[in-house]
Structure 1
Amino acid sequence: MHNSPTPSRRRMLQLLGGVPLLPLAAAGCASGRPGPDAAPAAPQGRGPVRSVRFEGMAAPTLADPAAMATTRVASALVATLADGSQHRHALQYDTFFITGALVPDGAGGQVVAGGCFDIHNRPIVDASDPGRRQFFSDAPDGMSLLQLPRANVPGVRGHTLFAVVQFEYTTRDAAGASMYGQLPSPIAVLTLDQDPATGRLRLVKYANVDTSAVHGLWTTCGASLSPWNTHLASEEYEPDAAFGDESLAAFSRHLYGDPARANPYHYGHLPEVTVLPDGTGRIAKHYCLGRISHELVQVMPDERTVLMGDDATNAGAFMFIADRPRDLCAGTLYVGRWHQTSASGPGAATLSWIRLGHASSAEIRALVDGGIRAADIMDVSKADPGDASFTKIPFAGGFHWVRVKPGMEKAAAFLETHRFAALAGGSLGFTKWEGTTVNARDKVAYVAMSRIEASMLDGSGGVKVEGPYSGAVYAQNLRGGQRDHRGAPIASDWVPVDMAAVPALVAEDFGGGKLRRQDALGNFAHPDKLSMPDNLKFNEALRTLFIGEDSSTHVNSFLWAYEVDTGRLSRLLSCPAGAESTGLHAVDAVNGFTYVMSNFQHPGDWESPLHDKVRPVLDPLIRARYRDRNGAAVGYLTAVPAAHAPG
């Protein structure tokens, strides 16, 4: 049923109907073509906007190879006014840059977009490149758009906006060798000039954020904008401190010039970036939200409760409740228990919560800086030691046997969170738990399970469902009055109490399982349904959930809009083949314009047999457009002139 607009939604709909340009801005998945210079005329109907809906587009095919090799945008937003007239805003892209481009540094010079820097903020050079170029990322990910009241950046003629963009990794060096996980993740503040009349955005300044005080960044993935206007980043795939991580030595060599210097316990945390009025940024890491495979956290409207993605095999449902609003420096960490009520398809369950402990970021970081090691915290074995004092737990697709050292429970909870949460009885059975977002009006959280496989099928972590392999988006109802496993009250009105997939947001694998059947193009999952959902963002004013794919069962990954009141699912864009849709951020209104931001990563990252049918045709096109497959776009989605149609 379509609900009547709330007052806040009516205000947004009036803005959408009254402005000359509707910039649903998306950073990335861009063709590189500039948009029109002229602003379209405002709709000529009567009265305020009554409703809005998205018009989807068909998936591209080899009938138009160029459309598969870049971002295809053939979607629209349709506004219905009070007099019944409808106004269609077709969508298209402008871009800020392709990574690797030289962009303005705000001081008359230029800097490499997505460029990587060492602990001394010196460019990291690709030794395999004859020209000794600076390494730059082809994987822009989490992005936030924000405004500051006293911004002061030279060169801005209209309104000053800022975007924080993080770059997850660099896929390969100039010689084609894998560089995944071997370079520190860059993060930058973009100063943007917003045209007051059209809403169009122009890049004025690119400022790399100095991360030396937090020991650099490790694999920054999804991100969100906090209610207090800061950028909440992530560090996923935390390095294993007990048995080592093969990427950590290479990471340390590039960051410090010393393969042995990086401490694994400095990574796997939640970084927070505060943008300053001059277009630079200050960063801190919070060590008290658990050391997990952080992916796109979401702070609830109480400004204390944080729900977190955990992009791992044998992942968990984690929740953090801060001691004080707008301050993530101290609080209580919880892990969920999945009480399964259905095993059919993606499954369903009620949820309860186990308190893992309370800590401040300062006290956990002090342990790390003091030299604590995994052996100081717990004994861990990959084989059964035949000792009853050890407990068998699921871990990373297998099993470990663990025993916490006396008095080390707090260190275990916040530095060995996956192992300790499993030991405490949490349901560590999820796979690829990615984006998390909130529909505040309905008190519903949405979470993306990108793949349903491995530990979600075998019951190793207390979850045993059927699939589909290509994933689903789940909804969680949020309630107050909850108690933890010991009966103590949980100080939040935003606690997830159940979890079930949204029927319209469940993938459909051909043949019913992983890699069983392909269509004529190569897709393993139905192209008109989502596949491997990753980034999620809910827009309160539009009542729309935006979903970006990281698909290895769709030939092209897509960005979708799901209108929660009507159940309508619309494809908004298609990324270049082999790319992942990332960096999603939906903003209600900035100076009367609304923006939906979404990057893409690694175009032409071919997988066999998924891309076997299209690769010979598309590879040269993608190489020509995206720096020989080494670049990815950051930009925004805008609108072309509105067409009037009678209601």
Structure 2
Amino acid sequence: MKVRLWGLGVLSALSLAGCNDDDNRYDTPSLSIESVEFTSTPAPATADEMAKTYSRSAVKITYRDGRVEEKPLAYNVLFSVKDPIAEANGQKHPAGQVYNYKMEPLIDPMGNPVVAETPDANSLLNIDGKLFLVTHYEYDWILSDGSTAWTAPGWYTRSPMSMTLSHISQGSDGQLTATKVRPIDFSGVNGLWIPCFGSQTPWNTHLGSEEDYDLIYNPLDSKNYGATTAGLKALRDQYFKGEREANPYHYGIIPEVTVKADGATSVVKHYAMSRGTWEQAKLMPDGRTAYLGDDGAHVQMTMFVADKYGDLSAGTVYTAKWNQTSDQNGGSADLTWNKLGHATNAEIKALADTLTFKDIFNAVAPGNGQCPSGYQRIRAGSTADECLALKPGMEKAAAFLETRRYTALLGGTTEWTKMEGI
């Protein structure tokens, strides 16, 4: 998902007073709250409205003594991506600065910081009474001279991205303030690539995404494979400083960030949840089931069921099959789930470290829309037809590293467009 946002704000009424355990203004008998609801904001109708971040909604508070009070919602800006407040290696950098694997800032062709203009997901976490905010930076599209990043001569179509951790203080009036901001180090998981939607887990960690549009193409796809080579080059040159090649199977994986009360963070990528152009992975209240939204064209709908609550490192992946029964009133269908396989993070990471596309599939270019005997024609991730045959013993690798293609080979549905979540 592409959105253009420059500032990081919190939409608030009562300034999130409910997050402050010491604020008991609304707990006295005469002010006890019966219910809280939010009014709607009409969809933007003018170009000016479409270009702004705003709200016309209000919070409606009904008290137990019958009184009703409405307070307008408003955005409280914590910081903007260009604010020089992020601390890394003893230096201050713009909040949206992106870094290489040594946490050194990336610099654009003009000698200025590469700053991601697009903060996306935020998780406000209460860790032992302390507030922290985890923020995604999805992509960089404007260089410091105003030119478009992916068309600038000698530059890259994309850059490796980042998340920040903000220490948040809350005043007696409920107002939130970012007191310290630092980038989160992803070097232990080979960096971060296009993080989009994020959410909190039931066990109070941050669950992110990698919306990998680029590193998923078939080498025989002459129209699109250039995006893969360009993305791998960007990761090699920028993130790894030219010291090693990037591996496409290390991206398109769901990351989880754990924050401790002292502000320390740890990161894991959940290879067991499979691979895709993940807009999101949203956990259900059972703490085991997650629905994953695959962005782009000719994509999948996926479900992951963890072996146990609170641990996403092992589980079973299912893919959806949409059997349409009617085209009336928006359409209706029977939805079934096909099991792709069970795995652990360690199993799939080991496969990702050693395998390539050519190790998993035999592939030939389709001729006149037909595939040779022994090959299956699919569309998965683009409008390009592919002729694939799974190599013996590669079922698990295909299920978790080539999830979309394996879905198509098994007869699952890959006709979705922007299946960003359900």
TM over 0.5: yes
Residue identity (%): 35
CA RMSD across the alignment: 2.8
Q: In the alignment, what sits opposite 1:310? A: 294
Residues 1:77 and 2:53 are matched in the alignment: no
1:45-88 deviations in whole A, cap 9, x for unaligned?
A: 956434433333455666x95x6654333321122233432101
Matches of 2:134 and 2:352, distance apart in 1: 28
SS of equivalent to 2:398? helix
SS of equivalent to 2:127? coil
1:110 to 1:258, Cα distance in 2 relative to 1, 3 A: closer
* 1:347 maps to amino acid: G
Residues 1:99 and 2:75 are matched in the alignment: no
1:250-270 deviations in whole A, cap 9, x for unaligned?
A: 232111233971111111111
Q: In the alignment, what sits opposite 2:387? A: 401
1:90 to 1:177, Cα distance in 2 relative to 1, 3 A: closer
Match of 1:335 among 319, 339, 342: 319
Q: Is the 8 A contact 1:116 1:124 kept in 2?
A: yes
Q: How does 1:116-515 map to 2 (within 5 A)?
A: 116-127=98-109, 129=110, 132-149=111-128, 160-175=130-145, 176-179=147-150, 182-195=158-171, 197-238=172-213, 239-240=215-216, 242-243=218-219, 244=225, 245=228, 246-258=230-242, 261-369=245-353, 371-384=354-367, 386-395=371-380, 396-435=382-421, 447=422
SS of equivalent to 2:348? helix
SS of equivalent to 1:253? helix
Q: Is the 8 A contact 1:376 1:405 kept in 2?
A: yes
Q: Is the 8 A contact 1:106 1:206 kept in 2?
A: no
SS of equivalent to 1:23? helix
Q: Is the 8 A contact 2:17 2:174 kept in 1?
A: no
Q: In the alignment, what sits opposite 2:153? A: none
Matches of 1:107 and 1:265, distance apart in 2: 29
* 2:99 maps to amino acid: F
1:299 to 1:81, Cα distance in 2 relative to 1, 3 A: same
Give 5+ residue unaligned stretches, structure 1: 1-19, 26-38, 150-158, 436-446, 448-647
SS of equivalent to 1:341? strand
CA positional deviation for 1:381: 3.2
1:256-312 deviations in whole A, cap 9, x for unaligned?
A: 233971111111111111112222321111111111111221112221111111112
**What TM-score, normalized to structure 1?**
0.56
**What TM-score, normalized to structure 2?**
0.84
Matches of 1:109 and 1:203, distance apart in 2: 18
Matches of 1:423 and 1:108, distance apart in 2: 51
1:306 to 1:134, Cα distance in 2 relative to 1, 3 A: same
1:198 to 1:214, Cα distance in 2 relative to 1, 3 A: same
1:170-213 deviations in whole A, cap 9, x for unaligned?
A: 01222403248521111111110122x32211111112111111
Give 5+ residue unaligned stretches, structure 2: 1-12, 151-155, 220-224
SS of equivalent to 1:242? coil
1:306-351 deviations in whole A, cap 9, x for unaligned?
A: 1111112111110111112111111111101112233235423231
* 2:372 maps to amino acid: D
SS of equivalent to 2:335? strand
CA positional deviation for 1:146: 0.7
Q: Is the 8 A contact 1:269 1:287 kept in 2?
A: yes
Matches of 1:112 and 1:258, distance apart in 2: 24
Q: In the alignment, what sits opposite 1:55? A: 39
1:382 to 1:81, Cα distance in 2 relative to 1, 3 A: farther
Matches of 1:163 and 1:109, distance apart in 2: 21
CA positional deviation for 1:234: 0.7
1:24 to 1:169, Cα distance in 2 relative to 1, 3 A: farther
Higher relative contact order (CA 8 A, sep 6+): 1
SS of equivalent to 2:420? strand
Matches of 1:104 and 1:258, distance apart in 2: 25
Instruction: Tell me the number of residue pairs that the alignment of Structure 1 and Structure 2 aligns.
Output: 387
Matches of 1:42 and 1:356, distance apart in 2: 50
* 1:294 maps to amino acid: W
1:458-480 deviations in whole A, cap 9, x for unaligned?
A: xxxxxxxxxxxxxxxxxxxxxxx
Q: Is the 8 A contact 1:106 1:204 kept in 2?
A: no
Matches of 2:384 and 2:323, distance apart in 1: 22
Matches of 2:86 and 2:209, distance apart in 1: 27
SS of equivalent to 1:250? helix
